[in-house]
Amino acid sequence: MTELTDLTPIFRDVLDQPDLVLTRESSGYTVDGWDSLAHINIVTSIEQQFGVRFALGELQDLQNVGEMLDLLNRKRIVT
Amino acid sequence: MTPTPPTASDLLRFGRRLRRELLEKRDLKEIRIAVLGGSTTNELCNFWEVLLLQDGFRPTFLQSEYGAYFEEAVVDPTRLVSFRPDIVYIHTSFRNLRNLPGPHATADEIAASLSAERAKVQSIWRSIRENVGCQIIQNNYDQPTFSLLGNLDAVHPAGTTRFVASLNGHLAEDAACTAGVLLLDLASLSAQVGRSRWLDASRWFSYKLAHTPEAHLEIASALTAMIRAIYGRSKKVLVLDLDNTLWGGVVGDDGVDHIRIGRETAEAEAFTAFHEYCLAMRTRGVLLAICSKNNEDVAKAGLAHPDSVLRLEHFSAFRANWMPKHENILSMAEELNLGIDSFVFVDDNPAERALVAAQLPAVAVPDVGSDPVRYPAIIDSMRYFESVALSADDLQRAAQYAANSARAAVSAQFSNYGEYLASLQMTAEIDVFQPVFADRITQLTNKTNQFNLTTRRYTLAEIQAMAQDPSYVCLYGRLTDRFGDNGLVSVVVGAVDGRTVEIELWLMSCRVLKRDMEVAMLGCLVERARDVGATRLRGWYIPTAKNSIVADHYSRLGFSRVAVDREDGATCWELGVTDYTPRSLHIHVSTFSQ
């Protein structure tokens, strides 16, 4: 199982915020600097670190970090 | 060691931090870059910014609205004009080709499609030249995702593969004959990265990103090399170790007969191939030098090996001794009159690499490893010696430096310096700017750091504009002597302001230092100033980290100091021209002759 704590370092690095605290509710609306380009970097870095590939439709509906985490865990079980 | 270049993954994950840290560097050169994109350009610009910061540039970007490259260049360039860019990069890909012929297209239709794409690019260049007048970088086209006709796609006149290749050929012709346009070779980059790693359809559909992060990094590093070349910061000298760098084995221990070079073994062939690579670099204007821990006679014997492609006479500087290598590189920099940041150091020994990199951070020290098979590819991938044009001077450079060594040998024979100068039988051609020299003049204004009073940089467009402007006095000087042609070596630009000619730029290539060329230039400048009705010249010396050799330039030429206080430590100098007597003794001066 991938936990929130596994994703935190990626967000901290990409957003250059070493003290960032992530919750399941964190999203582009609540986290500074999480703009569309940072979003691409976050998704790509997650794909690279966990060896998964998100399909187009899967990313469109994500509302927050929690949903991203759940999606990642579903994919990691399948693969 | 010179830091390993970042990977695309590094830039995605740590890009913001890298940028923040690099922005703290001092002496960054500000440049304004407009990126007109046929796709989303943010990622490319972010990568490019980090690479430029690493190379000492601080870019400010203007990015066009997504896909609006044509509109913002041609239809309404207002935003572009008010941004005042130094560089405009038009970033397009095959996805922006709107006139691809279908498989049933007739020859006429295909020709019309080609003309349409070509005309579109040319109208962009024309608009930027007329409205902005800055350096343009245009890329050619990568190959489309699919080859509908398979192999036939490259053969059939209507095949997209053949169409794109043909269009790229035309773009190269157009760029070659359009001043101020440089072509970024996207087609080769895409081939090098490989089509499957160049494109990611999902990024295109989701974000309208035309390329993968890996591809963006390759494009950004190719662009960065071009920027270095435009601003005269490309490297000039390749310094080579000998043992296990230019041949297998240690010549001092193994003996000349046993070093591995030639065609006998695979290893020997690899060293020979590296020799051929270095020699080809020399032919295109890169200087070669040797820096080896060896006795000099032993080192020279190695280069005299019958299978050695590189010979002693190919090297512009040669150090085989037991001194620390960084000291040898420093003394070669002095001998060649080049900045230490012009040097690339290649050595198979990681300890020597680490020492030079630590002692001389300005020297590029690529991690070439110790396998000769890989040396050329590693050096090549760093794009150290990028140039924007191949001038006649580039092709003759090595010969010019060799002639300098001959001059130095001759100067030792004379009792006084004037006698030596007279013996050189120097002829200078000094005249107003001629169109044929505009490229070289621009190149000199951007790369001359030492003999440069104001260190002002000019673009090709600015040089061409000043040449036409009657309120400017623009002079170039070429110098020939009995050892050879030194090429175009000096540039002086003065702005006419009533009775005064204000000297905005005075530079000279250090290869002709102490030849009284500046005295000859002054003589012609005085004549021109009189022609435009001026009574005095006024010049500034603006000190930089590199131009202290001209601190007393104006006083040596007889100018008087004018008391002006400036925070940057600049000094102001004046010379009356009415009763100035030319005093160039050793140089015969002529004017432009085709």
Which DSSP string corresponds to B374-409?
GHHHHHHHTTTT--S---HHHHHHHHHHHHHHHHHH
The whole-angstrom separation of Cα A31 and Cα B191 is 40
pLDDT at residue B428 is higher than 70: yes
pLDDT at A34 over 70: yes
* Tokens 């003290």 belong to residue: A19
Verdict on whether the full-model pTM lies above 0.95: no
B16 touches chain A (CB under 8 A): yes
CA A41 to chain centre: 9
Contact B206 A59 (CB under 8 A): yes
Q: What integer is the mean pLDDT of B589-593?
A: 86
This model of the complex carries an ipTM of 0.90
pLDDT of residue B3: 65
B497-514 tens-digit pLDDT: 999 999 999 999 877 888
Q: B88: helix, coil or strand?
A: strand
Q: At residue B471, does pLDDT exceed 90?
A: yes
CB contact under 8 A, B205 and A44: no
Q: How confident is the model at residue B424 (pLDDT cuts 50, 70, 90)?
A: confident
Q: What is the mean pLDDT of residues B78-82?
A: 96
Q: Which residue of A16, A55, A56 is in closest CB contact with B16?
A: A16
Size of interface A-B (CB pairs under 8 A): 37
| Residue from the list B9, B15, B20 with its beta carbon closest to the beta carbon of A48 | B9
B213 at A interface, C-beta within 8 A: yes
B580-589 mean pLDDT: 84
Q: Cβ separation of B42 and A37 shorter than 8 Å?
A: yes
Report how far residue B317's alpha carbon sits from residue B17's, in angstroms, rounded to the nearest whole number.
41
Q: Do B12 and A59 touch (CB under 8 A)?
A: no
Is A55 a residue whose pLDDT tops 70?
yes
Confidence grade of residue B283 (pLDDT, cut at 50, 70, 90)? very high
- Kindly determine whether residue B202 and residue A56, on different chains, have CB atoms separated by under 8 Å: yes
| pLDDT for residue B594 | 54
| φ, ψ at B260 (rounded to 5°) | -100, 105
Would the CB atoms of A37 and B43 count as touching at under 8 Å? yes
The average pLDDT across A59-63 equals 81
Best to test chain B binding among A13, A17, A61 (most B CBs inside 10 Å): A13
Q: What is the pLDDT of residue B1?
A: 47
pLDDT at res. A13: 96
* pLDDT above 90 (res B311): yes
Q: Is B7 on the interface with A (CB under 8 A)?
A: no
Q: How many CB atoms lie within 10 A of CB B75?
A: 10
Instruction: For residue B63, give the 3-state DSSP assignment.
Output: strand
Contact present, B464 and B438 (Cβ < 8 Å) = yes
At residue B581 the predicted structure's pLDDT band, cuts being 50, 70 and 90, is: confident
CB nearest B16 (choices: A15, A36, A44): A15
- The C-alpha of B327 sits at a distance from chain A's nearest C-alpha, in angstroms, of 40
Nearest CA in chain A to B16: A16
CA distance B108 to B157: 11
Q: Which residues of B touch A48 (CB under 8 A)?
A: 9, 12
3-class state of residue B15 by DSSP: helix
Model confidence over B451-463: pLDDT tens digits? 999 999 998 888 9
Q: Do residues B516 and B586 touch, judged by C-beta distance below 8 A?
A: yes
CB-CB: which of B13, B43, B206 is closest to A45?
B13
Looking at the complex, report in whole angstroms how far the Cα of residue B549 sits from the nearest Cα belonging to chain A: 44
Query: Exposed e or buried b for every residue in B29-68, given b needs 16+ CB within 10 A?
Result: eebebbbbbbbbbbbbbbbbbbbbbebbbebebbbbeebb
DSSP state of B198: H
What is the DSSP code string of B528-588? HHHHTT--EEEEEE---SS-GGGTTHHHHTT-EEE----TT--EEEEEE-TT------SEE
Look-up: residue for tokens 């997209």?
Answer: B160
- Chain A positions touching B213 (Cβ under 8 A) are 44
pLDDT digits (tens, 9 = 90+) for B533-550: 999 999 999 998 888 889
Which residues, at least 6 apart from B538, have a Cβ–Cβ distance to it below 8 Å?
A: B500, B501, B502, B503, B562, B572, B573, B574
Q: By percentage, how much of chain A surpasses pLDDT 90?
A: 70
The yes-or-no verdict on residue B582 having pLDDT over 90 is no
Task: Please tell me which residue, B347 or B394, carries the higher pLDDT value.
Answer: B347
> pLDDT at position B345, please?
98
With b for 16 or more beta-carbon neighbours within 10 A and e for fewer, the B431-454 pattern comes to: bebeeebbbbbbbbbbbbbbbbbb
| Structure tokens belonging to residue B61 | 């970007």
pLDDT in tens, B377-421: 999 999 999 988 776 677 677 777 777 767 766 666 676 778 878
Q: Which residues, 6 or more positions from B56, have their beta carbon under 8 angstroms from its beta carbon?
A: B25, B27, B28, B29, B233
Identify which of B9, B16, B207 has the shortest CB distance to residue A40: B207
Contact flag B13-A59 (C-beta cutoff 8 Å): no
Residue B447 pLDDT: 82
Instruction: Check residue B17 and give its pLDDT.
Output: 94
Asked whether the beta carbons of residue A45 and residue B12 sit closer than 8 angstroms, the reply is yes
Question: What single-letter DSSP state applies at residue B152?
Answer: G
pLDDT for the residue numbered B2: 57
Between B96-100, B174-178, B397-401, B528-532, the lowest mean confidence (pLDDT) is in B397-401
pLDDT for res B548? 87
Residue B364 phi, psi (nearest 5)? -80, 125
Identify which of A13, A36, A56 has the shortest CB distance to residue B13.
Answer: A13
Which of B14, B205, B206 is nearest residue A13 as measured by Cβ atoms? B14
Asked if the model's pLDDT at residue B90 lies above 80, the reply is: yes
Q: How far is A56 from chain B (nearest CA, A)?
A: 7
